[in-house]
């Protein structure tokens, strides 16, 4: 059991590293070139994410925009690029700067870094204070982390409170935290006594996959190939696997390599 636990912890840590490499879902304004000057710096930074994600040829022009626009969103996107290049220290530093400039996504991701020790020394108490402040603003994944930390044994900055923790975790599931949705989905599938309960668990995993949670995308891709709980769809499965590989999620990379070696 100990080895399984360690393996699970390693996979979970990888999932959060992948989250740091992923662009958040944002609504991008469609504007004519002549109207670009009327956009805010953050809006111009958002537009550059589309250029960046076209491939390697788009990286340089997108980076030029982000370096020119001194705004919170630019710092977040520069952080994502740093994590993709393996520069975790620079990435974490940029997230902190962006978070201090008011970007909640960056602040939440910086808390992940403090929790997991990604690019910085682990500081759980500092991370908890960030989660707590964002939880007061009803940020679902911040509520999730407050609940998760409240399940741990008493520490000098937080008391264990199982009942309140469970309430927060379920609230985060119901309000769209992809990490909570994936983990609750796994619990429901593993404890399911019939197909209806398995389908309910898989639906939670699907919701997390649709938000690009890498563990969920891999799990759901496998179910799509099997076609037992959900209708078989190899094209959608391949799409999810490609996203996982792009973000460097090792279990998905290994699964793709294994599949290619068999063909």
Domain boundaries, the chain: 1-121, 123-170, 180-262
The 10s digit of each residue's pLDDT in 205-261 is 999 999 999 999 999 999 999 999 999 999 999 999 999 999 999 999 988 777 766
Q: Which residue has the tokens 């909570």?
A: 180
What's the whole-number average pLDDT of the chain?
90
- The rounded percent of the chain whose pLDDT value lies above 90 is 76
- pLDDT attached to residue 91: 98
Q: Where are the alpha helices (DSSP H) in the chain?
A: 2-21, 41-52, 56-68, 72-84, 88-100, 104-116, 124-135, 140-150, 162-174, 178-190, 195-209, 214-226, 234-246, 250-262
DSSP state of 155: B
Q: Where are the alpha helices (DSSP H) in 55-161?
A: 56-68, 72-84, 88-100, 104-116, 124-135, 140-150
Nearest to 131 by CA among 121, 144, 120: 144
21's tokens = 């490499």
- pLDDT attached to residue 2: 29
C-beta separation of 162 from 143 below 8 A: no
* For residues 181-196, average pLDDT: 94
């Amino acid at each position: 059991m100990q080895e399984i636990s360690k393996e699970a912890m390693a996979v979970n840590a990888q999932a959060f590293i992948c989250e740091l490499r992923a662009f958040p879902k944002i609504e991008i304004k469609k504007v004519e070139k002549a109207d670009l000057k009327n956009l805010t710096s953050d809006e111009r930074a958002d537009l550059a994410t589309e250029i960046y994600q076209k491939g390697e040829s788009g990286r340089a022009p997108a980076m030029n925009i982000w370096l020119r626009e001194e705004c919170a969103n630019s710092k977040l996107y520069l952080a994502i690029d740093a994590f993709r290049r393996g520069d975790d220290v620079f990435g974490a530093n940029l997230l902190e700067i962006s978070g201090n400039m008011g970007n909640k996504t960056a602040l939440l991701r910086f808390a992940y870094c403090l929790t997991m020790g990604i690019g910085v020394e682990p500081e759980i108490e500092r991370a908890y204070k960030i989660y707590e402040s964002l939880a007061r603003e009803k940020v679902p994944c911040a509520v999730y982390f407050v609940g998760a930390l409240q399940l741990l044994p008493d520490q000098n900055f937080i008391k264990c409170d199982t009942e309140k923790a469970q309430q927060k975790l379920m609230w985060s599931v119901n309000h769209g935290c992809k990490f909570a949705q994936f983990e609750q989905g796994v619990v429901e599938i593993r404890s399911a006594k019939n197909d209806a309960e398995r389908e309910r668990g898989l639906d939670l995993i699907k919701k997390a996959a649709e938000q690009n949670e890498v563990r969920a995308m891999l799990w759901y891709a496998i179910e799509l190939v099997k076609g037992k709980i959900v209708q078989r769809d190899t094209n959608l499965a391949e799409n999810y696997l490609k996203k996982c590989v792009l973000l460097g999620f090792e279990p998905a990379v290994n699964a793709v390599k294994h599949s290619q070696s068999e063909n």
